[in-house]
A and B are shown apart, each in its own frame.
Chain A
Amino acid sequence: MSVPTKKAASKPARKLPLKERYALLTRDLDWEPGYVDREQLFPHTRYEGIKIHDWDGWQDPFRLTVDAYYKYQVEKDKRLYAVLDGFAQSQGHLSLSDASYLNAIKLFIQGVTPLEYAAHRHFAYLARHLEGPAPRFAALCQSVDELRHCQTQIHTISNYNKYYGGFHSWSKMHDRVWYLSVPKSLFDDAMTAGPFEFLISISFSFEYLLTNLLFVPFMSGASFNGDMPTMSFGFSAQSDESRHMTLGLEAIKFLLEQDEGNVPIIQDWIDKWFWRAYRMSALVAGMMDYMLPKPVMSWREAFELYFEEQMLGGLFPDLEYYGIQPPRHVNDAIAEKDHLSHQVYKILHNFSFAAAFTTKTPDEAHMAWLAEQYPDSFDQVYRPVWEKHRKIEADGGRVFFQGLPQLCQVCQVPMAFTEPGNSAQISFRRSTFRDETFHTCSDGCQWIFEREPEKYVQAWLPVHQIYRGNCGGPTVPDVLAWYGIQEGDNGEYTGSPDQLAWAAWHSDGDDKAV
């Protein structure tokens, strides 16, 4: 054993430069294994074809030591939980714009909160399996952050769950209910891929490319509709999210810079994950345009601002330097921006008898707003549909679609999207794999299917599973019971337990209201 001398003690103390100090406290903790093989230690980093020549080429996008992390996060959580407690104590839910607003939040806890959890678990996978110590540490931080988001969302929504339907069985529903297989299958897809594809799918495509279309609309909707807790959660998550976005951007640049051979692989992943995440955003589109009593902005406007302007206009010109092109099929997404939300909400409206939220036909004022937002499509195509519903409902009816829809083999949204440029023609693609026929909803989904058919044939398609008898039984009530849907969670909003309770709580002089 060699004994280091104490000469350091006689020198005057100097401060280490911040960057060096951070490196010493993070990546310098790593060492080259000498007793086991590197490949044995990191067995998952070679099979995707990505080549990394120098893990130290990773630039730390932010420098947060553990003690500073704890300190910031505690302060943020203190403020957030103070809001939650105050809101609960003052029955703040009574000052929402309307109880029907909560349908958006039902969709959120059933569809998004479980994704936060999935991200938490799988960033832990990156924290274990990436070879570079710096990205491993960044992934560890994100894993812990995502757990925070999942748990603060559960706590934020806990108070609504006490007074309203549809929130109570979110985790079981995420595993079982048909429309939730859209987000679930997306994350399952990312998690079952290799570590680099996961990084591109979630860190880049999800957290960076589309986060303003997938996540932020819920938080903005909250702020417009008097939902203080969700809005506070959104603000509280913002600094975490900006770290995650920075990580996503660093990840893609790092991978592209490491080896020219990485570029086509990553281009393929961008093509795939843009379309995959975009298809999931269809649910958000329906929410934005139809579920918010006080809408924030239309899907179309958000798509133009956050995707066409910021990403296609801002990000992709930068990525061109690396040889990266805008996502394949992006023009199909642009072509359907006038139609997406309407087509999705029609599906939800038709099938909400089997959903853990309620739907309603838009009223006159809402339709006027939609017509203004969609001058090229609403009055022409969708107003007549809703007016038909209104007429039927005025006579005491309510149309639900009887039967089960066919689902796209990839995105798992019911096959109700139309051809780009022809809103009268349902878009329907067919592929054959191992002598079986598979259907997809678009060129984008078909392309994804045919790239990895052996993966997508494994999909747990909710409708197929109902027909196979794997979902509680042969009748609708059997399936709903298996889904965990309780009486009144589903169907039409008007006359639902939520609506009736809301009306009672807001009627003056009613004894029950006090």
Chain B
Amino acid sequence: MQYELRYRVLEPRRQTYQNVIDRLGDQPASRYLEATLDVEPTENFHYRPTWAQDRELYDERFSALRLTDPYSYTDPRQYYYTPYVTQRAALHDEFGKTLGYLEARDLLAKLPEAWHTVLTSVVVPLRHYESGAQLVSVSGARFAYGTSLEQCCTFAAFDRIGNAQMLSRAGIAAGGGTAEALKEAKRQWLDGEHLQPLRRLTEEIMVVEDWAEGLLAVDLVDSLVYPLLYQHLDETALLGGAGAYSLVAQHLATWYADQRKWLDALLTCWASDPERGEDNRTALTRIAATWADRARDAVASLTEAIDQALPQAASTTVLGDLADAHATAWTKITGGAA
């Protein structure tokens, strides 16, 4: 049986903020919408930036990719600050538990030699790649037009530091609790032949002026690296007696699945914009033409190194399939122009 609690009801004058009412009518709005729609200033800026004198403080011209209405894009995850940190606290909590388990048994340090090699010379050095990806993403946090989009870039930027820290902590564990593996990983990142194409590519993406182009160039690398290292190798590890690797990899795969959600929705939104769609598809095609092959080559250099240690992983073959599938998906989004 339910009891009947009487409480005071007052007639509200409005259900939400006026800008939300203007877009969606006077009805209760989610916290995501209230905290996102029209938050970024749009007009009457007082001074021109000394660091970009031909731009306004918020200016859609910071990228070739634009939306007629920036709020035609919303995050399918509906992340504002609180749900974002809630999700990520859970991710990092799970990762911490995994790592605690692995550390207590010294399992990463005791990986089969070939796996240990792959972890310390291919995977852990990517903490620097994550750091580069952070720099690229945070550029979107500042220069993207519209709160719904920049907010995703902000969270992505913070995520990349989180990813870098997950990889670093795995590196510390792989080094038996010391900084040795991280130092070695950094040497590899700076000098290891197999990592130079990716390092070079990362640095060149970091200086791209168009924040969205940079973000997508990173995504072109991500869309090969993540499925390869954290899904495909995960499966191989499970079959090959390297369960500890799989335990680490799962968390990065979880992150990547989440990252895909907002980026895929964004690509679709750009490509299908009623007024800017055509220009956007042209820009997307150009971006893919500039970066996709380079991403593939950079990752191929990693898979060659992996195949040397773990021929059973057949990483280079898998990379080929991934790149082809990705090119097809991209072509679909850009309407065949690529």
Q: Which residues of A contact B (CB under 8 A)?
A: 1-4, 6, 8-16, 20-21, 24-26, 28-31, 33-36, 40-41, 43-44, 47, 65-67, 69-71, 73-74, 77, 81, 89-91, 94, 114, 117-118, 120-122, 124-125, 127-129, 133, 136-137, 140, 143-144, 147-148, 150-152, 154-155, 158, 161-165, 167-172, 174-176, 181, 184-185, 188-189, 191-195, 455-456, 458-460, 465, 484, 486, 497, 505, 514
Q: Which of A25, A26, A459, A514 has the most CB of B within 10 A?
A: A25
- A29, B130: Cβ atoms under 8 Å? yes
Given A3-B121, A155-B31, A194-B50, 4 other A-B contacts at CB below 8 A? Answer: A4-B121, A16-B172, A25-B164, A31-B190
- A1, B179: Cβ atoms under 8 Å? no
Q: List 9 A-B contacts (CB under 8 A).
A: A4-B181, A9-B116, A74-B85, A128-B135, A154-B39, A155-B34, A162-B13, A184-B46, A455-B47
| Size category of the binding interface on chain B | 35 or more
- A6, B189: Cβ atoms under 8 Å? no
- B41, A71: Cβ atoms under 8 Å? no
Q: Which residue of B lies closest to A461 (CB)?
A: B46
- Distance, CA A133 to CA B160, complexed state (A): 14
Residues of B within 8 A of A484 (CB): 18
Residues of A within 8 A of B206 (CB): 33, 36, 41
- B50, A121: Cβ atoms under 8 Å? no
Question: Knowing A36-B206, A140-B161, A171-B38 touch, does A151 contact B81 (C-beta < 8 A)?
Answer: yes
Give the contacts of B211-248 with A (CB-CB under 8 A). Answer: none
B8 within 8 A of A: yes
- A11, B176: Cβ atoms under 8 Å? yes
Nearest Cβ distance between residue B301 and chain A, in whole angstroms?
A: 10
- A8, B181: Cβ atoms under 8 Å? yes
Q: Which residue of B lies closest to A172 (CB)?
A: B19
Residues of B within 8 A of A41 (CB): 203, 206-207
Question: Knowing A70-B92, A175-B42, A459-B47 touch, does A158 contact B34 (C-beta < 8 A)?
Answer: yes
B24 within 8 A of A: no
Residues of B within 8 A of A144 (CB): 81, 154-155, 158
Q: Which residue of B lies closest to A161 (CB)?
A: B17
Nearest Cβ distance between residue A382 and chain B, in whole angstroms?
A: 32
Nearest Cβ distance between residue A65 and chain B, in whole angstroms?
A: 6
Residues of A within 8 A of B308 (CB): 1
Residues of A within 8 A of B313 (CB): none
Interface string of B184-201 (1 = CB under 8 A from A): 101011101110000110
- Distance, CA A70 to CA B45, complexed state (A): 34
- B109, A128: Cβ atoms under 8 Å? no
Q: Which of B19, B89, B150 has the most CB of A within 10 A?
A: B89
Question: Knowing A175-B42, A458-B46, A458-B47 touch, does A67 contact B17 (C-beta < 8 A)?
Answer: no
Residues of B within 8 A of A21 (CB): 172
B305 within 8 A of A: yes
Residues of A within 8 A of B8 (CB): 91, 94, 514
Residues of B within 8 A of A188 (CB): 45-47, 57
Question: Knowing A67-B95, A70-B89, A192-B47 touch, does A24 contact B179 (C-beta < 8 A)?
Answer: yes
Residues of A within 8 A of B162 (CB): 66-67, 70
Question: Knowing A168-B17, A484-B18 touch, does A30 contact B131 (C-beta < 8 A)?
Answer: yes
Q: Which residue of A lies closest to B36 (CB)?
A: A151
- A2, B121: Cβ atoms under 8 Å? yes
- A9, B138: Cβ atoms under 8 Å? no
B264 within 8 A of A: no
Residues of B within 8 A of A71 (CB): 89, 92-93
B76 within 8 A of A: no
Nearest Cβ distance between residue B96 and chain A, in whole angstroms?
A: 6
Q: Which residue of A lies closest to B99 (CB)?
A: A67
- A40, B207: Cβ atoms under 8 Å? yes
Residues of A within 8 A of B110 (CB): 9
- A169, B19: Cβ atoms under 8 Å? yes
- A192, B50: Cβ atoms under 8 Å? yes
Nearest Cβ distance between residue A353 and chain B, in whole angstroms?
A: 20
- B17, A35: Cβ atoms under 8 Å? no
- A34, B199: Cβ atoms under 8 Å? yes
Q: Which of A31, A151, A185 has the most CB of B within 10 A?
A: A151
Residues of A within 8 A of B135 (CB): 128, 136
Q: Which residue of A lies closest to B193 (CB)?
A: A1
Looking at chain A's contact residues, is the secondary structure mostly helix, strand, loop, or mixed? helix
Q: Which residue of B lies closest to A412 (CB)?
A: B46
Q: Which residue of A lies closest to B151 (CB)?
A: A147
- A6, B109: Cβ atoms under 8 Å? yes
Contact pick for A4, options B31, B44, B117, B130, CB 8 Å: B117
- Distance, CA A480 to CA B204, complexed state (A): 50
- Distance, CA A369 to CA B209, complexed state (A): 58
- Distance, CA A188 to CA B41, complexed state (A): 11
Question: Knowing A15-B177, A25-B169 touch, does A70 contact B80 (C-beta < 8 A)?
Answer: no
- A6, B113: Cβ atoms under 8 Å? yes
Contact pick for B184, options A4, A117, A118, A184, CB 8 Å: A4
Q: Which 3 A-B pairs have the closest CB atoms?
A: A13-B177, A124-B141, A9-B109
Residues of B within 8 A of A143 (CB): 138, 141, 154
Q: Which residue of B lies closest to A43 (CB)?
A: B51
Q: Which residue of A lies closest to B141 (CB)?
A: A124
- B157, A1: Cβ atoms under 8 Å? no
- Distance, CA A140 to CA B177, complexed state (A): 28
Residues of A within 8 A of B193 (CB): 1
Q: Which residue of A lies closest to B153 (CB)?
A: A124
Give the contacts of B122-165 with A (CB-CB under 8 A). Answer: 127-128, 130-131, 134-135, 138-139, 141-142, 147, 150-151, 154-155, 157-158, 161-162, 164-165
Question: Knowing A1-B305, A47-B50 touch, does A171 contact B158 (C-beta < 8 A)?
Answer: no
B258 within 8 A of A: no
Residues of A within 8 A of B277 (CB): none
Interface string of B96-118 (1 = CB under 8 A from A): 10000001001001100100110
- Distance, CA A9 to CA B151, complexed state (A): 42
- Distance, CA A453 to CA B96, complexed state (A): 55
Nearest Cβ distance between residue A15 and chain B, in whole angstroms?
A: 6
Contact pick for B176, options A3, A13, A133, CB 8 Å: A13
- A460, B121: Cβ atoms under 8 Å? no
- B199, A161: Cβ atoms under 8 Å? no
